[in-house]
A and B are shown apart, each in its own frame.
Chain A
């Protein structure tokens, strides 16, 4: 999850989506998920290049589309604002205030505690819920009670088989539009994987077969 967050940071996105999770999984050393991805020619560098390509094509939002850069465009330095309020009120109070303010809006943002220092004013929307739900189902079907990276990979791959927006509420669609994401069309994960000549469904069954062989 932290690796996914880092990928989102690298692309200067205001959300963490399955496409970031995929790059994160490929980076996770010593994991079966990374090994399978690497063997299929989907190493971290290939996937990162794939993400950059999707940004260039306008399928993923461009790097200016994050709070800090947008505020900079109207002359506000978010980092300074954050430093000022944190000095006066303390980090905890700022985090609480952000949470309260967001809970009144339809935009849900979360903070991942793996960044340090964590920045309460710049949380990210989490768009990986469906992929993680599917990951849980995959682990259940294998009779396991814990979700390992390879299950997350299965979840991400299964999520990517459906077009963008599958099973989303109206509010979730609004969040996607706000973040500059396309409301429909094939999932970016599918595009990145197929760009390198791998079939999505085949990769999913390959991971599944590998897991069955291991248990």
Chain B
């Protein structure tokens, strides 16, 4: 990835405008993947710092059951308690 010529990339970015659903949709999917990782990272960190599921859920604007269901039960989070 590091070897690619930067001008080639900008050219491509310009050629494939985000009005093209092919690019736009794939970009959204990539974004969702990134959000999932960041969420997992932050929840894990909060649990390790002793935050309650309720407090985490409030900040994420979801129900505490939702966060708990998604992240509790992972060995990693339990180890952090």
Name A residues whose Cβ lies closer than 8 Å to a Cβ of B. 9-10, 12, 62-74, 76, 78, 81, 85, 89, 93-94, 96-98, 100-102, 104-105, 107, 121-122, 178, 180
Contacts and interface: CB of A to CB of B under 8 A. Distances in A.
Nearest to B2: A9
Question: For B13, B31, B41, B76, which residue has the most chain A Cβ atoms within 10 angstroms?
Answer: B41
A87 B6 CA distance: 25
B61 interface: no
Given A9-B3, A74-B18, A93-B41, 16 more contacts: A10-B4, A12-B1, A62-B12, A63-B8, A70-B30, A71-B30, A72-B9, A73-B13, A74-B31, A85-B41, A89-B41, A97-B38, A97-B40, A101-B37, A104-B70, A121-B37
Interface in B30-81: 30-31, 33-34, 36-41, 44-45, 70, 74, 76
Contacts of B18: 73-74
Interface size class of B (residues with CB under 8 A): 20 to 34
A64 B34 contact: no
B21 to A, nearest CB: 12
A93 B44 CA distance: 9
Contacts of A78: 34
A89 B45 CA distance: 8
A56 to B, nearest CB: 13
A98 B44 CA distance: 12
7 contacts: A9-B2, A67-B34, A69-B12, A70-B27, A72-B9, A74-B27, A93-B44
Nearest to B43: A97
A183 to B, nearest CB: 16
A64 B3 contact: no
Contacts of B74: 100
Contact of B31 (A65, A69, A76, A102): A76
Contacts of A67: 30, 33-34
Contacts of A72: 9, 13
B47 to A, nearest CB: 12
Nearest to B44: A97
Contacts of B3: 9-10
Contacts of B12: 62-64, 69
A64 B45 contact: no
A213 B37 CA distance: 51
A96 B80 CA distance: 13
Contacts of A93: 41, 44-45
Nearest to B45: A89
Given A68-B1, A74-B31, A93-B44, A98 B16 contact: no
